């Protein structure tokens, strides 16, 4: 086991009926809040009213910053920073999916500095402070509600970059599974794929040979992401299933899974970010495709790990590790297909002709993530297995 620091300072309030705690919890951190949210759904499902009422009844003044979109944009986060500064807000509240929470993190850090916040993303400036952040996730996917990471797309340069800093952990996150009841079948699947993929990336990218306890935790999360997704799709208002998926997604990128694994990469996310940056693909949809391509490209090299996953997740067996790894990929693809996720670039409207541009875009990020072995040639080879 590699040395590690494990520290999740975020307080999680989990369950139905927990939303009214938002006001008092926020008031403990500030009296004027920037409320960051998305476009239509928060108003449509009545959550916006509940949140504003809870905040105001605790004496917290609300400044609105709606309009975050999927694959959130740097320009919109910059507007949020300007608003936070001019209104002198003391606390940020994010209500929505991973895009909303990530935008709120960027604003929380950007509001305390004079320079442009993109400098954090390209490594030109370090984070020294951040406004306190509270979140109300409404999608089970990114785990941003219980981690210190964020991802933004620079709409000028078409770079989608992510990074993390311990000061970006939310202070409090309120996870009410009923807020995810209205998620479509499609986006429920994309969320589950995102959560599953976080664990799969760590599972396959560790250089640590002894990962006994982490393996069991990751396998449990992977299996649950699949199982809970199936149940949510069958019965969108199945509380137990929504709760299971929500908690699984929060844990999958919380620091629990990577503890002890040493330096782990997230090459599937790396490549997917280019699909999102250049083609505005939904993150989970892109991951579905890229994960399969990456696994095909590394099937032989990672055969024993993929085989162990298959044995434990799908309870399948084959005469050899190579055959079992192959079978695991087939079963994973079948599952992705069954939940309505795209499994080829063609499904996303992307063709072989787009691969060079995607590979170039990926490698610009790869350098920032220190994944130096991801050359344009290697990325192109992976993407060609996604066709």
Contacts to a copy of itself by CB under 8 A: 1-18, 177, 210, 212-213, 216-217, 219-221, 223-224, 227-228, 239-240, 243-244, 247-248, 251, 256, 259-260
Ramachandran class of 245: left when φ > 0, alpha when ψ lies in -120 to 50, beta otherwise:
alpha
Terminal-residue alpha carbon distance, the chain: 37
Closest CA to 242 of 282, 183, 287, 297: 183
Cβ closest to a copy of itself, residue 67 vs residue 260: 260
Task: Give the containing element (helix H, strand E) for 163.
Answer: strand 159-164
Closest CA to 173 of 142, 217, 218: 142
State how far the Cα of 97 lies from the Cα of 143, in Å rounded to an integer. Answer: 9
Smallest distance from a copy of itself to CB 120, Å: 23
Smallest distance from a copy of itself to CB 54, Å: 17
Cβ closest to a copy of itself, residue 117 vs residue 241: 241
Smallest distance from a copy of itself to CB 301, Å: 23
Smallest distance from a copy of itself to CB 145, Å: 11
Using a 10 angstrom Cβ sphere, with 0-12 exposed, 13-18 middle and 19 or more buried, the burial of residue 115 is exposed
Cβ closest to a copy of itself, residue 244 vs residue 272: 244
Cβ closest to a copy of itself, residue 244 vs residue 333: 244
Smallest distance from a copy of itself to CB 126, Å: 20
State how far the Cα of 313 lies from the Cα of 327, in Å rounded to an integer. Answer: 12
Q: Where are the beta strands (DSSP E) in 61-131?
A: 61-65, 91-96
* Sequence-separated (6 or more) residues with CB below 8 Å from residue 293: 271, 382, 383, 384, 385, 386
Cβ closest to a copy of itself, residue 176 vs residue 333: 176
Smallest distance from a copy of itself to CB 231, Å: 9
Smallest distance from a copy of itself to CB 256, Å: 7
Please calculate the CA angle 345-287-163 and round it to the nearest 5 degrees: 130
Backbone angles phi, psi at 29, to 5 degrees: -110, -20
Cβ closest to a copy of itself, residue 100 vs residue 261: 261
Smallest distance from a copy of itself to CB 107, Å: 24
Cβ closest to a copy of itself, residue 234 vs residue 240: 240
Cβ closest to a copy of itself, residue 47 vs residue 175: 175
Smallest distance from a copy of itself to CB 232, Å: 12
Closest CA to 11 of 36, 31, 34, 29: 29
Backbone angles phi, psi at 28, to 5 degrees: -70, -15
Cβ closest to a copy of itself, residue 14 vs residue 163: 14
Cβ closest to a copy of itself, residue 240 vs residue 330: 240
* Sequence-separated (6 or more) residues with CB below 8 Å from residue 199: 218, 221, 222, 225, 252, 257
Q: What distances in angstroms separate CA 248 from CA 15, 116, 146, 148, 358, one per listed residue?
A: 14, 35, 11, 17, 31
Closest CA to 25 of 100, 132, 180: 132
Smallest distance from a copy of itself to CB 41, Å: 23
State how far the Cα of 353 lies from the Cα of 330, in Å rounded to an integer. Answer: 26
């Amino acid at each position: 086991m590699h040395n590690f620091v494990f520290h999740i300072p975020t307080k999680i309030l989990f369950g139905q009926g927990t939303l009214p705690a938002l006001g008092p919890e926020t008031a403990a951190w500030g009296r004027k809040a920037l409320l960051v949210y998305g476009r239509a759904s928060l108003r449509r499902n009545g959550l916006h009213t509940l949140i504003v009422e809870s905040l105001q009844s605790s004496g917290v003044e609300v400044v609105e910053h709606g309009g975050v979109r999927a694959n959130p944009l740097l320009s919109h986060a910059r507007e949020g920073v300007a608003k936070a500064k001019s209104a002198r807000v003391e606390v940020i509240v994010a209500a929505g999916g991973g895009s909303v929470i990530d935008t709120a993190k960027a604003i929380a850090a950007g509001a305390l500095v004079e320079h442009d916040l993109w400098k954090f993303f390209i490594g030109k400036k370090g984070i020294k402070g951040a406004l306190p952040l509270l979140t109300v996730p409404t999608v089970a996917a990114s785990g941003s509600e219980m981690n210190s990471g964020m991802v933004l797309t620079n709409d000028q340069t078409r770079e989608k970059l992510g990074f993390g800093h311990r000061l970006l952990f939310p202070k409090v996150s309120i996870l009410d599974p009923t807020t995810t009841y209205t998620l479509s079948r499609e986006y429920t699947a994309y969320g589950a794929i995102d959560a599953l993929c976080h664990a799969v990336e760590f599972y396959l990218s560790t250089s640590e040979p002894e990962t006994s306890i982490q393996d069991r935790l990751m396998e449990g999360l992977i299996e649950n992401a699949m199982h809970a997704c199936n149940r949510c799709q069958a019965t969108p208002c199945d509380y137990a299933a929504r709760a299971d998926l929500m908690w699984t997604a929060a844990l999958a990128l919380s620091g629990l899974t990577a503890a002890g694994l040493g330096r782990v990469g997230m090459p599937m996310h790396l490549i997917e970010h280019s699909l999102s940056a250049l083609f505005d693909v939904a993150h989970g949809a892109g991951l579905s495709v890229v994960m399969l391509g990456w696994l095909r490209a590394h099937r032989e090299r990672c055969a024993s790990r993929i085989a162990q996953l298959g044995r434990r997740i799908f309870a399948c067996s084959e005469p050899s590790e190579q055959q079992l790894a192959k079978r695991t990929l087939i079963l994973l693809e079948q599952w992705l297909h069954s939940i309505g996720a795209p499994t080829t670039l063609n499904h996303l409207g992307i063709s072989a002709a787009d691969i060079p541009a995607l590979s170039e875009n990926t490698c610009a990020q790869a350098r920032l993530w220190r994944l130096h072995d991801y050359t344009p040639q290697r990325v192109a080879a992976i993407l060609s297995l996604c066709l």
